[in-house]
Amino acid sequence: MMAEHAIPAAAHWLQSTMLGTIATTLAVVCVAAVGLGMLNGRMDARRGITVIAGCFLVFGSTSIAAGLRSLTEFSDGGPELIAAQASPMPIQAIFPPPQLPPPPPQVRDPYAGAALHY
């Protein structure tokens, strides 16, 4: 009887641990460390934005999941799908690729440098 409720209880415990006070405190410290690293020039903006977006994703995951689940559930049984009688697509002629103009003649640069001359 306890085994029936063990997995949901473990999932609830994991969710409360991941979104609880400890995780929030750790995320605040991480965002502060990333901000300090960005101010000192030790971290680029792309990494900082990634860390902040990751925090929003982790802490907003329950809302995101609820929104996605509400999109897939319909209270009235769902919309009726009506398949339209589609006629086959007409065959289109395949045209050869356009001819490109010849490239301009190469101009020799006398100042190209010693690395190009042996």
Q: Are 24 and 17 in contact (CB under 8 A)?
A: no
Question: Which of 16, 26, 22 lies closest to 54 in space, CA to CA?
Answer: 26
Backbone angles phi, psi at 98, to 5 degrees: -65, 150
Per-residue pLDDT band for 23 (boundaries 50, 70, 90) equals: confident
How far does the chain reach from its first CA to its final CA, in angstroms?
Answer: 85
Which tokens sit at 98? 């356009």
Question: Which of 71, 54, 72 lies closest to 18 in space, CA to CA?
Answer: 54
Q: Do you know the residue count of the chain? A: 118
pLDDT at 70 over 90: no
pLDDT confidence of residue 32: 92
pLDDT in tens, 47-66: 889 988 988 888 888 788 88
Q: What DSSP state is assigned to residue 87?
A: P
The verdict on pTM exceeding 0.75 is no
Domain ranges for the chain, please list them.
Answer: 13-72
